[in-house]
Chain A
Amino acid sequence: MQDSSIMERRLRPIYDCLESGNNKKALQEAEKALKKTPNILCFKALKALALLRMSRDEEADTLVGEIAAKNPSDDSTLQVMTFCYKEREEFSKICTLYSNAAKQNPGCEDILSHLFISYVRVNDFSSQQLVAMQLYKLKPKNPYYFWAVMSVVLKAVRGPDSKIPEKRKLLLTLAQRMIDKQISENKIDAEQEVQLYLSILKYQQKYAEALDFLEGDLGRKIYPGAPVELKIELLKSLDRWGECNVLLKDLLRENPDRWDYHKDYILSVTKLKQSSVAFDGADCTFEQCYEFLCQLIESGARVVRGPFLGRLELHHTMTDLNENASELLGDFLELLVEYFRKFGDKACCANDIILFLNFLEAERRAELASRLLEVCEISSTKLPQNKEQMQKHICSLQVSRICGAHALSTEHLAALYTAFSLHYEHGTTAFGSDLLPTDMGPSDSYALLAGELGLAPFDVQIKLEIIFNNGVNDFLAVHVMYDLSLKLQTSEHLIEALCLLHYLLSNSPSNFHAKLLCLQIYHLIGCGWGAHKTSESLEMKYVQLDSMGYLHVSQLPLIGIPSIAKPWYDSTLRFFTSSYKESLEYLAMCYKFGSFSKLEEFMDFRDKLSNSLHFLLISTEAVLLEFVCLCGLYAQNMAAIKAMKIVPSQDRIQWDQVTDNRDISVIVKWNAQTYPNADADMKRESFAQDVELVRIRSMLARIICGCVEAITHKETKNKDIETMKQLKHSWTDLWLRIRNANYKPTSNQYLVNLLPSRLHGIMAAPYEASIIHLIEMVLQIEERHSTAKLSCDALCDDFNLVRRLLCDTITEYNESSDLAWKRRNSQETIVNCIEVSAHSFYQLKIWNNR
Chain B
Amino acid sequence: MYPLTETYGLPFYMQYLAHWPEYFQVAESPRGEIMGYIMGKSEGHGEKWHGHVTALTVSPDFRRLGLAATLMNFLEDVSEKKKTYFVDLFVRVSNKVAINMYTNLGYIVYRTVLEYYSGDPDEDAFDMRKSMSRDEYKLSMIPLQHPM
Contacts and interface: CB of A to CB of B under 8 A. Distances in A.
Given A348-B65, A593-B19, A582 B11 contact: yes
Contacts of B61: 347-348, 351, 668
A347 B10 CA distance: 30
A538 B9 contact: no
A354 B31 contact: yes
A305 B9 CA distance: 34
B19 A542 contact: no
B80 to A, nearest CB: 9
A302 B78 CA distance: 25
Interface in A535-573: 538-544
Contacts of A91: none
Interface in A351-403: 351-352, 354-355
Nearest to B33: A665
Interface string A656-694: 000000000100100000000000000000000000000
A257 interface: yes
A538 B1 CA distance: 5
Contacts of B70: 255, 257
A348 B7 contact: no
B30 interface: yes
Interface residues of A, number: 45
A347 B18 contact: no
A355 B10 contact: no
Interface in B24-54: 29-31, 33, 35
Contacts of A510: 2-3
A438 B8 CA distance: 19
Interface in A514-554: 515, 538-544
B62 A225 contact: no
A597 interface: yes
Given A259-B30, A347-B63, A351-B29, A595 B18 contact: yes
Contact of B22 (A191, A540, A582): A191
B21 A598 contact: yes
A743 interface: no
Given A355-B30, A355-B31, A305 B1 contact: no
A586 B14 contact: yes
Contact of A225 (B19, B22, B29, B30): B22
A224 interface: yes
Contacts of B11: 582, 586
B66 A302 contact: yes
B63 A597 contact: no
A348 B62 CA distance: 6
B21 A582 contact: no
A578 to B, nearest CB: 8
B78 A589 contact: no
A602 B18 CA distance: 9
Given A259-B30, A348-B65, A595 B60 contact: no
Given A348-B29, A542-B9, A542-B10, A595 B66 contact: no
A591 to B, nearest CB: 9
B31 A542 contact: no
Contacts of B2: 438, 510, 512
Given A225-B82, A438-B3, A512-B1, A346 B64 contact: yes
Nearest to A263: B30
Contacts of A305: 65
Interface string B56-93: 00001111111000100000001001100000000000
Interface in A208-245: 224-225
B17 A595 contact: yes
A751 interface: no
Contact of A586 (B18, B22, B63, B81): B18
Contacts of B62: 347-348
A149 to B, nearest CB: 18
Interface string A777-815: 000000000000000000000000000000000000000
Contacts of A354: 31
B9 A595 contact: no
B4 interface: yes
Contacts of A539: 1, 7
B145 interface: no
B112 to A, nearest CB: 21
Nearest to B96: A436
Contacts of B19: 589, 593, 595
Given A224-B81, A351-B29, A540 B1 contact: yes
A346 B17 CA distance: 32
Contacts of A41: none
A440 B60 contact: yes
Nearest to B25: A227
Contacts of B35: 348
A765 interface: no
A225 B81 contact: yes
Contacts of B60: 347, 440
Contacts of A351: 29-31, 33, 61
Contacts of A602: 14, 17-18
Interface in A584-639: 586, 589-590, 592-593, 595, 597-598, 601-602
Interface string B100-135: 000000000000000000000000000000000000
Interface string A160-194: 00000000000000000000000000000001000
B14 A589 contact: yes
Contacts of A544: 1, 7
28 contacts: A224-B81, A225-B82, A255-B70, A257-B65, A302-B66, A304-B65, A347-B60, A347-B63, A348-B61, A348-B62, A351-B33, A352-B29, A352-B31, A355-B30, A355-B31, A438-B3, A440-B60, A515-B1, A539-B7, A540-B1, A541-B7, A582-B14, A586-B11, A586-B17, A589-B18, A592-B18, A593-B18, A595-B19
Interface of A: 191, 224-225, 255, 257, 259, 302, 304-305, 309, 346-348, 351-352, 354-355, 437-438, 440, 510, 512, 515, 538-544, 579, 582-583, 586, 589-590, 592-593, 595, 597-598, 601-602, 665, 668
Given A438-B4, A544-B7, 5 more contacts: A257-B70, A304-B65, A512-B1, A542-B7, A595-B17
User: What 3 pairs between A and B have smallest CB-CB spacing?
Assistant: A512-B1, A589-B18, A586-B14
